[in-house]
Amino acid sequence: MTDPVLRIRDLSVAYRSRRGRLRALRHVDLDVPAGRVVGIVGESGCGKSTLISAILGLLAPNAETEGGSIAFGGRELLTATAPEWQAIRGPRIAVVFQDPMTSLNPVLSIATQMIDIQYRSNEPTAQKRQRAIDMLTRVGIPDAAERIDGYAHRFSGGMRQRIAIAMALLLRPALLIADEPTTALDVTLEAQIVHLLKSLRQEIDGAILFVSHNLGLIAEICDEVVVMYAGEVVERADVRALFHHPRHPYTRLLLACDPARVAEDVALLPTIAGALPDLADLSAGCVFRARCPDAIDACGIPPALMEVAPGHAARCVRAHG
């Protein structure tokens, strides 16, 4: 088996704050193998955004990496210098954000932006432009050859997200990070964008890290899923194993809360009682203990992320008997 495109080991990140250190990520392990779509699912405050910022080297100034490593194509990203980042961010690791206007410049035409990002290539501009048009056509922009000279505000939200995807994939990155790419879109457009990403993955040989809070989307597009809770990876499995045989109580409760999975005649929706633990003042033991219906005395000892079946790991003492 070849090395994964992205390999994160034992990554811990904390934020300095007035209330002390907020331990936003603790001992995170994550592999994104080439050609695979790995999903990260978790609710607000689970550390999804901190993890993505860490992978992109865009952590806030008050963030401190407490330890671990992020290896991308065999190269350590935690110690990468600014010029090194320039060669990685964009050409090698591309991102599609929730709001496409965060990656589109409102005062430059789409053509200018898409030609500009090919600045490393020595090809003539006409060729760069043609490549951009081909990519826009591929992501479903009608009349791309004419519309490429338009500005972002002339496109609808769904079209802007298609353009953002085209720009991200233009340089054929080895890793595409899709950070809640459809959260701002309506359900029919969301289905179209997810279908687009699914069809593009057959053509690009890169891997996709798909971050979402929407379990339905994760089930729709991902090969493997990582569930995060309060800064830790609590479960990691093949998508079928995760949805059909979840082992961590949090995963089970999260799946049970999804209204799409609740029987039609149930009027009161299930919820997870309690609140997230305070990241500045974590008690020892399992982070989910206070909310867990299955908690026992042994949960006072911090559980390790251990394999419960081949390729399936859970951070729960009860999951491995």
Partner 1 sequence: MPRAACGPMAELLELENLGVRYRVLGGWRALLTPRAPRTLDAVLNASLRVAPGETYGLVGESGSGKTSLARAIVGLVPHSAGHIRFRGHPIEGGSDRALRQVRREIGMMFQDPVASLSPRKTVGSLIVEPFRIHGINRNLDTEARRLIDMVGLGPNYLRMYPHQLSGGQARRVGVARALALNPALVIADEPTAGLDVSVQGEVLNLLTQLQAANGMGLLVVTHNLPVIRHVSTRIGIMYLGRLVEQGPTRAVFRSPAHPYTAGLIAAVPQPDPDLRRDTPPLEGEIPSLRNRPSGCEFHARCRLAVPRCRTEAPAYTAIAPDRGVACHFPLL
Q: Which residues bind partner 1 (CB under 8 A)?
A: 43-44, 156-159, 186-192, 194-195, 213-220, 222, 239-240, 243, 253-255, 257-262, 264, 266-272, 275
Beta-carbon contacts of 289 under 8 Å, excluding residues fewer than 6 positions away, are 295, 299, 300
Rounded least distance, CB 191 to partner 1, Å: 4
Rounded least distance, CB 30 to partner 1, Å: 20
Considering the complex, state which of residue 63 and residue 218 has its C-beta at the smaller distance from partner 1.
218
Are 233 and 316 in contact, with CB atoms under 8 Å apart? Answer: no
Considering the complex, state which of residue 106 and residue 259 has its C-beta at the smaller distance from partner 1.
259
Query: How long is the chain?
Result: 321
Rounded least distance, CB 48 to partner 1, Å: 12
Separation between Cα atoms, residue 93 and residue 95, nearest integer Å: 7
Rounded least distance, CB 197 to partner 1, Å: 11
Separation between Cα atoms, residue 16 and residue 63, nearest integer Å: 6
Rounded least distance, CB 77 to partner 1, Å: 29
Are 146 and 176 in contact, with CB atoms under 8 Å apart? Answer: no
CB-neighbour burial class of residue 43 (10 A; exposed 0-12, middle 13-18, buried 19+)? middle
Residue 89 has phi, psi (to 5 degrees) of -70, 120
Considering the complex, state which of residue 44 and residue 122 has its C-beta at the smaller distance from partner 1.
44
Considering the complex, state which of residue 66 and residue 223 has its C-beta at the smaller distance from partner 1.
223
Considering the complex, state which of residue 266 and residue 284 has its C-beta at the smaller distance from partner 1.
266
Torsion angle of C-alpha atoms 279, 280, 283, 289, degrees rounded to 10: -20
